[in-house]
Structure 1
Amino acid sequence: MQFHRSGHVDHFARDNLPPAKQWPVIDLAKAGLSYPERLNAVTELVDAHVAAGRGERTAIIGDHLNWNYAALAERINRIANVLTRDLGMVPGHRVLLRAANTPMMVAAYLAVIKAGGVVVATMPMLRAKELVYPLRKARIALALSDHRLLDELQSAQAQAPELTRIVAFGAGDSELERLMAQPGYERFEPVDTASDDVCLIGFTSGTTGEPKGTMHFQRDLLVICDCYGAKVLKAEPDDRFVGSAPLAFTFGLGGMVLFPFRIGATAVLPDKTGPADLIDAIERHKASVIFTAPTAYRAMLDKLDGRDISSLRICVSAGETLPKPVFDAWQAKTALPLMDGIGATEMLHIFIAAPREAIRPGSTGIPVPGYEAIILDTEGQEAPDGTPGRLAVRGPIGCRYLADPRQAVYVQNGWNVTGDTYIRDADGYFWYQARSDDMIVSSGYNIAGPEVESSLLAHPDVMECGVVGAPCPERGQIVKAYVVLREGVAGDAAFAKALQDHVKATIAPYKYPRAIEFVPALPKTASGKLQRFALRQIARGEG
C-alpha cells in the first residue's frame, strides 16, 4: 500500500490501519475524483469561502447566534491554537469530542482536523461505560466536552487512564472559551496533512455488538460531498440544512456540516432536534434541506397541521430502512418525496440512493455515481437480478477498521459486504429486504422482518415496531412483533388480533406475526437505530 508522506507526528492511526491485503478496492479515478497529495479538508470546507470573498455568507444558525464563514473560520483557528499551544496536541493525536450538535461542537470538530488531529466524536447520550471503549481503543489523551456532559466523561476517565485532560466548553466562562480569547489566536496555518492521513475515527453505533472504529482520510470528507452531495443530493449554496442525527453519527456529519460547507450553504443547528423541534426550526429559519430518520418523519406527520414548512424542498431519510407507508404518508401530506439512502459508518456516508427525479417508492435507489454495488449469493458469487443476497459495494471510499479482526469479515475479495440483504431489479434499483442476520426462517419460509414492520406501520395506531424471530419447537422460529402504540390505544388481545389480520391483508399471510407484544418503547442505539439484536435476546428469554 503506497501512502503519501504523512503530516502526522504521532503515527498511531496509520500504524493501526488494516493490512493491505484486507483493504477493499478503492478507486478515485473511476469516480472521476482527484485530490492533491497535500490536503487539509478544512481549507476546502471553510477557508476557501473566506479566501474567495464569501466570508459574509451565513455558515451556522443556532437558536441564539448566527456565524458567517469568516466568524466560523476565526473560531476554528482559535481552537486549533488552543489545541496546539496550550493542550499539547500534535498532528496525529486523537481528540474525543462530546457535545450535542452545537455551533461550538462544529468549530471544535473542524479545529481538530485543521490542526492535524484525529476526531473521535461521541453520542451525547453515551454513558461512562460506553465511553471507556473508544477512549481505550483509540488511546485518547485529550477530550473536549460540553460543560453539561462532563459527569459521564469524568466517570469514564477513572476507567481509562489514557485520558489525561478534559477541557470543557459551552458556558461563557468555560476553560476552552477562556483559552480561545488569548491575543494572537485568530490565525492558524492548517497543518500540512496528506490527503490519505486519517482525520476521523467513527465508532459504529453497536447495533450488532461491540462498536468498531472506522478510519477515514482527509480526502474522504470531500469524496462524499463530490459524489453523493453533488450528484444525488444536488443542494445549492442558498440552501439551509437542518437535521436530527448527532455529528458522531456520520449521517449527521455529512448532512449538517460537510454537505452545506462544501458548497457554502448554511447549517441550522437548533438546541433540540425532536420532531416538533425540527418543525419549529424549519418554520423559523426557513430550512430547505432536512436529514433525519424515518421514525422522525412519521412522528412529524401528526404535527404539521397549521405549520409553514413551505421552505422545504429536499428531504433525506437514512439511518434505518424507509417503510413505504411512511414515504407515501409524507408525500401525501407535503407533496415532497423522501430521498431514501443506505450508507454505513464504514463507508462514511450514503452509497446507494436515487436523485429526486428518479425515485421509485419502496426502493433504496441506485448506486451513487462513483460506486458499484452487486448482490452476492451464498457462495460469494454475484447473484442474478431478482434474487435476494448480501449487498456488496465498492467505490472511492472503503472500510478500514482500527486494529479489528472483523475487517476480514466486512471486506471480501475487494468488496465491502455490508451485512444487508437486498434484491437488485432488472433496472438496477436496489430493494432492501433485511439485515442479513434479521432474516426469519419459519417452517422453511424466509421472512424479512422489515417487510412485516412496514405492514404494521401502515396501521394508523402503530407508532413504532420491531420484528424478530422467536424460537419455536414446531416451526424453528415464529415472527414476533414488539409494538409501540399511539397514546390512548389499548394493547389487548383483541387489538393484537386486529393487527395480525391487518398484516395478513397486506402481505403474504404466512408472514404475519404469530406473537405480538405491546411495549412502551423499543431498544435503540444512541443514534436512534433499532437494536434488533436486543429484541432477539428478549425473544430468546435472555433480556
Structure 2
Amino acid sequence: MTPSGYADGFARDSLPEESAWPDFRFEIPSVQYPERLNAAAALLDGAIEKGWGDRVAVYSAARTLTYAELNAEANRMAHVLTDDLGLVTGGRVLIHGGNSVELMIAWYGCLKAGGIAVMTMPLLREPEITTIVGKAKIRLALCVPALKEAVEKSMAAGSGLERIALLGQDAEICQLMAGKPTEFTACDTAADDIALLAFTSGTTGEPKACAHFHRSVLAMADTFGAMLDPQPGDIYAGTPPFAFTFGLGAFVVFPARAGIAVALPSKPGFEALCEAIQAFRVTHTFTAPTGYRALIGLKTAYDLTSLKGGVSAGEHLPEASWRAWKEATGIDLVDGIGATEMIHIFISAAGWNIRPGATGHAVPGYDAKVIGEDGNPVPDGEIGKLAVRGPTGCLYLSDERQKIYVKNGWNITGDLYRRDPDGYFWYVSRADDLIVASGYNIAGPEVEQALLLHDAVAECAVVGQPCEERGTIVAAHVVLKQPLLAGEEMAKELQDFVKLTIAPYKYPRAIHFTEALPKTQTGKIQRFRLRS
C-alpha cells in the first residue's frame, strides 16, 4: 500500500493481512490511477476542469444544483467537518438519511476532508446503528432531522458516538456552512486510502464492513458506468439508497464522472420514482426487478416516455420480467450482478450484447469464471461457484469471513452460475438458495421464472420447505395480480403450468399465497424469512 496521510489509522490497521487480499487487476487504461488520488476531488473538481460547471448535477423538488454549485457546497461542508466538527483525516463519519441533495453534499464533503464515509440505510433502528458504530469506531454522525431518534438512542446507549450534527436547509450544518469559503483543498489521499465503508445487509449474520479505496470509487464508474455509454443530456433516477453501493454508483459517482444529471425522487417508492421521471424527463432508471414489475403497473398513470434505458440489479432479472418490460416500453434492460464486497456490477451486457435471461459477460476490467469445489474451472454448461477479480475486491474490516470470500486471489461471491460456450454467464441461484429435494438439485430462481410466465402471477419467491416424508420440498410464495383468485384451484393450475414449462420434478409441491413478499430496503426478496 502507498503511505497514507491519515491521522486516524484505525480503518487501515483493521484491513486483512495483505496475503488475504484479492488479486487486484488494473489491466485496462481507464483504471490505472495515480498514486495520490481523492475521489471526491476527481469527480467534482474534475467536472469543473472539464467545463461542466454550468451543467445540472442534481434535480430534486427541494433543490437543483449545477456542478459548480454542488462543488461549492461540498467545499463548505468539508470546512465545517474540519473546522467545527473535529473530523481528523481517516475518521469515520456516519451519514444517515434518505437520498437527498444534503446527503450527496455530506458524502462529497466527507471525502474531500479526508474522512471515511459510512452511509447507512434510512430505516435502520438503534441496535443496527449501534452495531455499525461499534464495528467502525465512529465518533461523528451527520443525520437528517426526521431520522435522528435512532442515532440519538445509539449515542445514549454508549455506542461510541460523540457528536451528532443535523443535515437540512434549516439545520445546524446548513447554518455553519453559510459562512464558509466555497474553495477547499482536498485532502492529499493515496489512491489506496479508504474512502468508504459499505456495510452488508446482515441477512446471514452480523453485517460485514466492506472497505473501498478512493481508486475503487472511480473504478466503478470507469468500468460498468462507462459500459452504459452515458451521453450529454442523460438523466439518471431510481430507488436504491445511497447506502447501497448500487445507488451510490448510479446516482452520485456515475453522473459526476460523465457530467450528466441525477433526479432524486422526493421519497422512497415506485410512485415517487414515476413522479420524478415525469417531472424531470429522466432517461435511465436503476432499480431491482421488483421495481420494473411495479413500473409496468404504473405506466398508464404517468408519462414515462422520456425513458430510453434502464439497469436492473440487486436480484436476478428473470427473462419473463425482461420481456414484460420490453413489451411495455420497448427498452432493453441491462441486467447486472454486483456485490457490496466488489462495490458495484462486474458481470453485465448492454446494447446488442444483451441476451435475455443471461446476466452477460465480465465487465471490461474484470475476469470471471465458474469453479468447482476444488477451485478449478468447470466445463461450460456445468454449474459451479462464481469467482471474479478486477480493480475492486473484498476487504472486510476485522472479519474472519475474509478467508471465505477471497480464495487464491479470487472473490467467491456465493452465487451459483453456469457459463455457455459463447462466454455468457447464466445465474442459477445463491449457493444457499439451491434446494435439494428427493435427491434432485433444484434452483429456486428457475422455478420462479416459470411461475412468472403465468399471467396470474405478479411476484413470487421459491425456497426449500422442510418435509418429514421427503426431507425438503419446493415451496412457492406467490403474490397474485388478483388476490381473490387464491385457493386450491389456482394452486393446482400453477403447479400444472410449471410442470409443462420446466422439468416436472421441479414443480412447487407447496404454494403459499401472500399479499406481499418480505424485502430489504433495496428491493431484494428476503428468502431467509420465507425459509424460517
* TMscore range, shorter length: over 0.9
Question: Does the 8 Å contact 2:265/2:275 carry over to 1?
Answer: no
Match of 1:419 in 2: 414
The unaligned stretches of length 5 or more in structure 2 are none
Spell out the pairing of 1:329-478 with structure 2 (5 A cutoff).
Answer: 329-478=324-473
Say which SS state the counterpart of residue 510 (structure 1) adopts.
helix
Q: Encode CA deviations 1:24-46: one digit per residue, 9 max, x unaligned.
A: 11011356531111111111211
Structure 1 residue identity aligned to 2:211? M
Aligned residues with identical type, % of pairs: 50
Match of 1:204 in 2: 200
1: CA distance between counterparts of 2:202 and 2:502?
31
Q: Encode CA deviations 1:492-540: one digit per residue, 9 max, x unaligned.
A: 2222112212211211111111011122332222322112222222xxx
2: CA distance between counterparts of 1:126 and 1:306?
32
Give the one of 218, 221, 245 matched to 1:222: 218
Match of 1:13 in 2: 11
1: CA distance between counterparts of 2:50 and 2:435?
56
Structure 2 residue identity aligned to 1:191? C
Give the one of 274, 278, 297 matched to 1:279: 274
Say which SS state the counterpart of residue 300 (structure 2) adopts.
coil
1: CA distance between counterparts of 2:33 and 2:72?
25
Say which SS state the counterpart of residue 253 (structure 1) adopts.
helix
Greater mean alpha carbon deviation, residues 392-401 or residues 483-492: 483-492
Match of 2:149 in 1: 151
1: CA distance between counterparts of 2:43 and 2:186?
12
Q: Encode CA deviations 1:443-471: one digit per residue, 9 max, x unaligned.
A: 11110001111222222332222211111
Structure 1 residue identity aligned to 2:330? A
Q: CA deviation at 1:319?
A: 0.4
Spell out the pairing of 1:46-195 with structure 2 (5 A cutoff).
Answer: 46-170=44-168, 172-182=169-179, 184-195=180-191
Q: CA deviation at 1:157?
A: 1.9
2: CA distance between counterparts of 1:444 and 1:270?
48
Structure 2 residue identity aligned to 1:516? I
Report the CA distance shift for 1:262/1:397 in structure 2 as closer, same or farther (over 3 A).
same
Say which SS state the counterpart of residue 384 (structure 1) adopts.
coil
Structure 2 residue identity aligned to 1:333? A
Say which SS state the counterpart of residue 132 (structure 1) adopts.
helix
Structure 1 residue identity aligned to 2:373? T
Q: Encode CA deviations 1:54-104: one digit per residue, 9 max, x unaligned.
A: 211100000132100111011101111110000100110000011111011
Match of 2:33 in 1: 35
Question: Does the 8 Å contact 2:483/2:515 carry over to 1?
Answer: no
- The normalised TM-score by structure 1 is 0.96
Match of 2:494 in 1: 499
2: CA distance between counterparts of 1:32 and 1:83?
32
Match of 2:23 in 1: 25
Question: Does the 8 Å contact 1:207/1:530 carry over to 2?
Answer: no
1: CA distance between counterparts of 2:304 and 2:356?
22
1: CA distance between counterparts of 2:51 and 2:445?
49
Structure 2 residue identity aligned to 1:8? Y
Q: Encode CA deviations 1:146-199: one digit per residue, 9 max, x unaligned.
A: 1110111112222343101111112x32111111112x4322110000000001
Report the CA distance shift for 1:32/1:175 in structure 2 as closer, same or farther (over 3 A).
closer
1: CA distance between counterparts of 2:98 and 2:30?
35
Give the one of 192, 209, 213 matched to 2:209: 213
2: CA distance between counterparts of 1:301 and 1:100?
25
Q: Encode CA deviations 1:230-268: one digit per residue, 9 max, x unaligned.
A: 1x2111132111010000000001111111100110010
Say which SS state the counterpart of residue 298 (structure 2) adopts.
coil
Structure 2 residue identity aligned to 1:14? R
Say which SS state the counterpart of residue 266 (structure 2) adopts.
coil
2: CA distance between counterparts of 1:296 and 1:401?
30
Question: Does the 8 Å contact 2:4/2:190 carry over to 1?
Answer: yes
Question: Does the 8 Å contact 1:205/1:526 carry over to 2?
Answer: no
Q: Encode CA deviations 1:289-331: one digit per residue, 9 max, x unaligned.
A: 1111100100111221264322212210000010111101000
Q: CA RMSD in A?
A: 1.4
Q: Encode CA deviations 1:411-465: one digit per residue, 9 max, x unaligned.
A: 0111100000000000000000000111001111110001111222222332222
Report the CA distance shift for 1:411/1:208 in structure 2 as closer, same or farther (over 3 A).
same
2: CA distance between counterparts of 1:261 and 1:21?
34
Greater mean alpha carbon deviation, residues 269-278 or residues 380-389: 269-278
Structure 2 residue identity aligned to 1:173? D
Q: CA deviation at 1:369?
A: 0.5
Structure 1 residue identity aligned to 2:200? T
Say which SS state the counterpart of residue 484 (structure 2) adopts.
coil
Q: How many residues align?
A: 532
2: CA distance between counterparts of 1:21 and 1:5?
18
Q: Encode CA deviations 1:272-295: one digit per residue, 9 max, x unaligned.
A: 242222222112211111111100
Say which SS state the counterpart of residue 130 (structure 1) adopts.
helix
Greater mean alpha carbon deviation, residues 27-36 or residues 375-384: 27-36
Report the CA distance shift for 1:36/1:468 in structure 2 as closer, same or farther (over 3 A).
same
Question: Does the 8 Å contact 1:246/1:527 carry over to 2?
Answer: yes
Structure 2 residue identity aligned to 1:366? H
The unaligned stretches of length 5 or more in structure 1 are 538-543
